[in-house]
């Protein structure tokens, strides 16, 4: 059984104009987020650790990512994702 070679990322997807900002929250920010919304990490929407944007942001399983999108109708839309490994 052969292992797939690890690919080298030559293009940072976070620099593309159509990709929203992805930021890994530090531990204090994550705790504040959970307290503010009264949720647990596993209740957040998920993002795979292998997702190109999550990889570019340096996310690891168990991290929480803040995704900031600019919308012509909603203005600034912020969402959070829990990083998982499937």
**Is residue 19 in a domain?**
yes
Q: What is the pTM of this model?
A: 0.81
Tell me if 31 sits within 8 A of 80, measured CB to CB. Answer: no
**Is residue 8 in a domain?**
no
pLDDT tens for the chain, 86 residues long, are 556 666 665 777 777 777 899 999 999 999 999 999 999 999 999 999 999 999 989 999 999 999 999 988 889 999 999 999 98
**Is residue 5 in a domain?**
no
* Residue of 6, 17, 4 whose CA lies nearest to 55: 6
Q: Which two tokens stand for residue 76?
A: 């600034």
CATH number, residue 28: 3.90.940.20
**Is residue 76 in a domain?**
yes
By residue range, what is the domain housing residue 70? Answer: 13-84
- The domain tally of the chain equals 1
**Is residue 73 in a domain?**
yes
- DSSP character at residue 13: G
* Residue of 59, 62, 56 whose CA lies nearest to 34: 62
């Amino acid at each position: 059984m052969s292992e797939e070679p690890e690919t080298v990322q030559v293009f940072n997807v976070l620099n593309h104009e159509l990709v929203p900002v992805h930021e890994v929250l530090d531990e204090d920010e994550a705790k504040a987020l959970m307290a503010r919304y009264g949720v647990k990490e596993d209740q957040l929407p998920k993002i795979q650790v292998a997702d190109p944007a999550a990889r570019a942001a340096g996310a690891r399983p168990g991290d929480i990512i803040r995704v900031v999108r600019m919308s012509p109708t909603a203005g600034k839309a912020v969402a959070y994702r829990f990083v998982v490994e499937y």
